[in-house]
Chains A and B, each alone.
Chain A
Amino acid sequence: MEEERRVSCIVCPLSCVGDVTIADGKVKTVAEFGCPRGEAYAREEVIAPKRMLTTTVRVSGGQLPLLPVISRQLLPKDKIISCARCLANVTVSAPIKEGDVILSDILKLGVDIVASRDLDAI
């Protein structure tokens, strides 16, 4: 089975749109991207797309009711929603420092979720 996918490149402001054909889970051809960086992005984007996750968790006893958090590394794109759902059930206690691990090894994906700011207690 051969599949053709259109991919918008996000590497630079030129925003090339190219075509990638995939067969048996492997990239067969990459066309219409203006540069090798775009081709490399497109290859990864069709086979194993990754994204950073930024969201919030609840805080008890803090200056604010929410703490912004970020994944320390990229996560598989198809796991982003389940990671966000998982973090919706987390509550942490203030005070918190930027970089504190809020949830380690989220969904056993090998990535830690960390605080992206300091938050003092009331």
Chain B
Amino acid sequence: MHEEIFDVVIIGGGPAGLAAAVSASDNGAARVLVIERDRELGGILQQCIHNGFGLHRFKEELTGPGYALRYIKMVEARSNITVMLDTMVLAVAADKTIVAVNSRDGMIKITAKAVIFTMGCRERTRGAIRIPGSRPAGVFTAGAAQRMVNMEGYLPGKKVVILGSGDIGLIMARRMSLEGTRVEAVLEIMAYSNGLTRNVVQCLEDYNIPLYLSHTILAVHGNGRVTGVTCAKVDAAMRPIAGTEFYLECDCLLLSVGLIPENELSRELGIEMDGRTSGPVVDQLRQTGLPGFFAAGNVVHVHDLVDFVSEEGEIAGKYAAWHANGKMGDCGCLITVKAANGVRTAVPQVIRAVSGNTEPVRLYMRVEKPEKNVTLAILSDGQVLLERKLRVAKPGEMIVVDLPVENIKKIGDDITVVLKH
């Protein structure tokens, strides 16, 4: 078997992996490897051709491919970063040996001093939400359709219904309309859209596409190809209400019903997972529970802004380089971060109180449901470490708060993040 040795190996060449590679290189890792299964770097950004990326990081509104290109150029400018394209990682062992495969080298065994997981996330499918009915062709996840329309040159249908009003669903409603497809409706089981208001306005209202809130699909019809869907209103417990059923004719159903971090490799290693984020438990250095294994981006928790994905990648890259060079030192005591009372997720889930640490800890949080005029409170030992007033809080918009280092010193053995009304 072909064998290679690297200091830092990054699995996944999307925005998190690219930022991690650049940062690992800039922080002293001698040999960095990025393994990517697609034919090019950039990950999902390459199919997100709309603009609005990079407002924080580059102070301009880039397209997805434009944002990716900036990082690809940074990777190419660093001669100690190797990129393996069209290469699939099959297994990662606890001793940091990685088995990968591609059509040039066959099986490859790679030995690393530190590993960064940046595999991103996957879409929930029809099976994941169990829509009854027949099983015809023409049912796609919105992201799969996005790749067909934006990169491969196929139109998945001419009359479309979209289930789920997250940003990918909304963006695809506009995209399909621009390509001459009729979008009949967007259905959302919740009483509110999880997408940005900007996208509801510019992707649905601009094209007169109706948005049915508190609605879902009861059945998919069609033999061979989708011919239509039966829809219904749902009650507060999300149960369909009898008598509200109606039929929408369509030849394509797109699903935008959530994303799940892609953690097969992390799970096989027995790395501790967070049941709410579906990603590994990480500390503020983005190190998982297994020393030398780091994780960043959508594989940890699903982000809404790529800028924060890059930021996480940078953190993971830096400390993976430190780990590879034996600079990590004393790991410090562990403080757990718990989300409670209206806060659904908080990352990092663990803070290491390392002596001499001078960097603030940035917490990323999501609320359970839309709220107005609430206070986000970070508590420890009954003491308030930090409070932030929020005029609005939405599950679709991540809340980002920096916890200054002097506040961390006051911490007891754990931290709880809550919403106060």
Contact = CB atoms under 8 A, between A and B. Distances in A.
Given A8-B201, A55-B178, A117 B65 contact: yes
Contacts of B50: 54
B197 interface: yes
Interface string A63-88: 11110101000000100110011001
A72 to B, nearest CB: 11
A13 B392 contact: yes
Given A15-B392, A65-B153, A66-B153, A54 B63 contact: yes
Nearest to A78: B206
B178 A66 contact: no
Contacts of B150: 56, 66, 68
Contact of B65 (A77, A84, A116): A116
Contact of A13 (B68, B200, B202, B397): B397
Given A54-B49, A65-B152, A117-B46, A10 B202 contact: yes
A14 B391 contact: yes
A68 B206 contact: no
A10 B202 CA distance: 9
Nearest to A11: B198
B126 interface: no
B51 interface: yes
A9 B392 CA distance: 14
Nearest to A98: B69
B181 to A, nearest CB: 12
B49 A56 contact: yes
Interface string B146-161: 0001111100000000
Contacts of A100: none
A77 B206 contact: yes
Contact of A117 (B69, B197, B201, B391): B69
Contact of B151 (A13, A55, A66, A116): A66
Given A51-B206, A54-B51, A10 B394 contact: no
Contacts of B151: 64, 66
A8 B64 CA distance: 26
Given A14-B392, A65-B153, A68-B150, A8 B197 contact: yes
Interface residues of A, number: 28
A68 B200 CA distance: 23
Interface string A97-122: 01000000000000000001110000
A118 B68 CA distance: 11
Interface string B292-322: 0000000000000000000000000000000
A31 interface: no
A117 B394 CA distance: 33
A98 B202 contact: no
B66 interface: yes
Interface in A43-72: 51-52, 54-56, 58, 63-66, 68, 70
Contacts of B149: 56
Contacts of B46: 117
Contacts of A66: 150-153
A68 B63 CA distance: 9
Given A15-B392, A66-B150, A70-B51, A118 B63 contact: no
Contacts of B63: 54, 68, 70, 116-117
Contacts of B69: 98, 117-118
Contacts of A77: 206
Interface in B34-76: 39-40, 46, 49-51, 61-66, 68-69
B343 to A, nearest CB: 17
Contacts of B66: 70, 98, 116-117
Nearest to A85: B180
Interface of B: 39-40, 46, 49-51, 61-66, 68-69, 149-153, 178-180, 196-198, 200-202, 205-206, 391-392, 394, 397
17 contacts: A8-B197, A8-B201, A10-B202, A13-B196, A14-B391, A15-B392, A52-B61, A56-B149, A63-B40, A66-B150, A68-B63, A70-B49, A70-B66, A98-B69, A116-B62, A116-B63, A117-B46
- Nearest 7 A-B pairs (CB), nearest first? A117-B65, A68-B49, A15-B197, A10-B198, A116-B63, A65-B153, A84-B178
Given A51-B206, A85-B180, 18 more contacts: A9-B197, A10-B202, A14-B392, A54-B49, A54-B63, A55-B49, A56-B149, A63-B40, A66-B153, A68-B64, A68-B65, A70-B51, A70-B66, A84-B179, A88-B179, A116-B63, A117-B68, A117-B69
